[in-house]
């Protein structure tokens, strides 16, 4: 049977075994399409059933999370931890708290994480977890009680050498603090079982900044293949959370002009640029007051609020989707390209729908998929684990230099495996480079 047919059958089996998990199917399909052509070179992968095994998580844990709200009412949420692949090291991947979370979302994120973590060159396996809990509109006390209940179950399966969670959507410094406090109380251990910790108690310099900074470094590396940089360019950024904020900060430092931010209700457009001073206001709005991005347009005259809209109709040279999965659909991608956007660096995970990815690849623009472009976050988390194990802390400059080196080496690997007739297909490059390393490790470690 031809190889492409065999891979298609494996994919159909994944769909059958994981019904209704559309985001997981989307993530698997993309990777299988990229790696199928190279499998001819590696008969040992087929013999060891690497594709079939890599699509099946090593372990999936689903648990009840009961907690009491401020009115004394009992609330029930569902918790997940998908330990997808540990061939390269302890499981590593964030926790997402968002009402849209279900098994298919956590599985797509965990699957992507395997290849992303492999690309960083660090010894970390892939995992993801989370809950359908919505931190929005909850008091600090409610968030704390939820986190404590969540950790009361999760602590049984994590640890500095087994599985090391971090943040993601809805899980920032506040949530990591509450989670770590409960972990420490339950285990009587102060160790590196979580990353994204505060700098005062075991965190790494530059962890909050790492994903956003890394996405900008990756864009700069992609632009350098055309003798350009982000300097002087106009950028559209989506989201207004952790990744978006530090993407804007780094773009400002490197001389670009950022004209948009958004949240799930709408987009603000500020053609004067979201300067450092305006960004500081946004950080206070989102991280302290936990307000909505629409308030920006009331505060800064000249800015416009587009209710219910995404940023992709705003003309720009560079786009940094930094909110959530499938936030760029086919029409958005066409509009971006028509308006002159020629570099997309994904801070978010799988923000471009498969049809949108096709548009970018057909137009031969510089398109950096999330598993490569946003790997800076997990890379610095890996460095945090390393610092915790050695009871030491690296300086901000040192971590930044390592982050740049890692992003640069991911870029080089994408170019190595993704070059096609003078064009770099970063999707193919990232998937093949990430996959081959994990597959080799799985072959060497036997059928486990």
Interface residue list for ligand NDP (CB under 6 A): 167-170, 172, 211, 239-244, 263-265, 322-324, 327, 347-349, 374, 377
Specify the residue, 7 or 106, whose C-beta has the smaller distance to ligand NDP: 106
User: Least distance (Å) from ligand NDP to the CB of residue 339?
Assistant: 21
* CA distance to 94, 146, 196, per residue, from 171 (Å): 8, 12, 10
- Determine which helix (DSSP H) or strand (DSSP E) holds 207, and give its type and residue range: helix 207-224
Specify the residue, 303 or 439, whose C-beta has the smaller distance to ligand NDP: 303
Please report the beta strands in 309-355, taking only residues with DSSP state E, as ranges in sequence order: 318-320, 343-345
- The CA distance from 79 to 129, in Å, is 8
User: Least distance (Å) from ligand NDP to the CB of residue 261?
Assistant: 8
- The CA distance from 358 to 339, in Å, is 17
DSSP, collapsed to helix, strand or coil, labels residue 16 as: helix
Q: Which residues is 154 bridged to in the sheet?
A: none
Q: What is the CA radius of gyration of the chain?
A: 21
Q: How many CB atoms within 10 Å of residue 189?
A: 12
Q: Which residue has the tokens 């692949």?
A: 85
**Which of 211, 21, 52 lies closest to 116 in space, CA to CA?**
211
For residue 414 the two structure tokens come to 């994408």
Catalytic residue among 92, 107, 116, 128: 128
**Which of 298, 409, 319, 413 lies closest to 363 in space, CA to CA?**
319
- The CA distance from 355 to 30, in Å, is 11
Specify the residue, 48 or 210, whose C-beta has the smaller distance to ligand NDP: 210
Q: What is the dihedral of CA 182, 183, 188, 193, to 10 degrees?
A: -150
User: Least distance (Å) from ligand NDP to the CB of residue 301?
Assistant: 23
User: Least distance (Å) from ligand NDP to the CB of residue 443?
Assistant: 28
CA 425 to chain centre: 20
Specify the residue, 261 or 424, whose C-beta has the smaller distance to ligand NDP: 261
Q: In the bound complex, which residue of the shown chain has the CB atom lying closest to ligand NDP?
A: 241
User: Least distance (Å) from ligand NDP to the CB of residue 14?
Assistant: 22
User: Least distance (Å) from ligand NDP to the CB of residue 321?
Assistant: 8
Active site residue 437: no
- Determine which helix (DSSP H) or strand (DSSP E) holds 305, and give its type and residue range: strand 304-307
* Sheet (strand 59-68) strand order: 59-68, 74-85, 125-131, 91-97, 163-166
Specify the residue, 5 or 284, whose C-beta has the smaller distance to ligand NDP: 284
Contact partners, residue 405, CB within 8 Å, separation at least 6 = none
Specify the residue, 123 or 291, whose C-beta has the smaller distance to ligand NDP: 291
User: Least distance (Å) from ligand NDP to the CB of residue 37?
Assistant: 28
Q: Do residues 120 and 379 touch, judged by C-beta distance below 8 A?
A: yes
Specify the residue, 125 or 172, whose C-beta has the smaller distance to ligand NDP: 172
For residue 441 the two structure tokens come to 């490790």
Q: Which residues are catalytic?
A: 128
């Amino acid at each position: 049977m031809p190889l492409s047919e065999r891979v298609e059958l494996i994919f159909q089996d994944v769909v059958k075994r994981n019904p209704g998990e559309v985001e997981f199917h989307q993530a698997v399909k993309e990777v299988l399409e990229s790696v199928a052509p190279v499998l001819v070179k590696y008969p040992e992968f087929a013999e060891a059933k690497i594709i079939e095994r890599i699509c099946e998580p090593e372990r999936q844990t689903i648990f009840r999370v009961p907690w009491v709200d401020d009115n004394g009412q009992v609330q029930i949420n569902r918790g997940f931890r998908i330990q997808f692949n540990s061939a390269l090291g302890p499981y590593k991947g964030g926790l997402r708290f968002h009402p849209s979370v279900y098994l298919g979302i956590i599985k797509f994120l965990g699957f992507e994480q395997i290849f992303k973590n492999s690309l960083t060159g660090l010894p970390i396996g892939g995992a993801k977890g989370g809950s359908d809990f919505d931190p929005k509109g909850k008091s600090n006390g409610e968030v704390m009680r939820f986190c404590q209940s969540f950790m009361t179950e999760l602590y049984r399966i994590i640890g500095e050498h087994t599985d090391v969670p971090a943040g993601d959507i809805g899980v920032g410094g506040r949530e990591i603090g509450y989670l770590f406090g409960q972990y420490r109380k339950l285990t009587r251990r102060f160790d590196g079982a979580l990353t994204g910790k505060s700098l005062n108690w075991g965190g790494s310099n530059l962890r909050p900044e790492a994903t956003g900074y890394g996405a900008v470094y990756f864009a700069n590396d992609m632009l350098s293949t055309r003798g350009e940089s982000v300097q002087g360019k106009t950028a559209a950024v989506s989201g207004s959370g952790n990744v978006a904020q530090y993407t804007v900060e780094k773009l400002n430092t490197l001389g670009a002009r950022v004209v948009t931010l958004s949240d799930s209700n709408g987009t603000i457009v500020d053609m004067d640029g979201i300067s450092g001073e305006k960004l500081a206001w946004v950080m206070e709005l989102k991280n302290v007051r936990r307000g909505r991005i629409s308030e920006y347009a009331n505060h800064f005259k000249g800015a416009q609020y587009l209710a219910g809209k995404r940023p992709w109709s705003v003309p720009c040279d560079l786009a940094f989707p930094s909110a959530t999965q499938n936030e760029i659909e086919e029409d958005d991608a066409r509009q971006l390209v028509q308006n002159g956007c020629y570099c997309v660096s994904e801070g978010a995970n799988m923000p471009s729908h498969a049809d949108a990815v096709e548009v970018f690849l057909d137009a031969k623009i510089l398109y950096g998929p999330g598993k490569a472009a946003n790997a800076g976050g997990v890379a610095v988390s890996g460095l945090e684990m390393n610092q915790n194990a050695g009871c030491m802390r690296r300086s901000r400059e040192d971590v930044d230099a390592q982050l740049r080196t890692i992003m640069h080496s991911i870029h080089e690997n994408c170019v190595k495996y993704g070059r096609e007739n003078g064009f770099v297909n970063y999707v193919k490059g990232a998937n093949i480079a990430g996959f081959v390393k994990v597959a080799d490790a799985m072959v060497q470690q036997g059928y486990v």
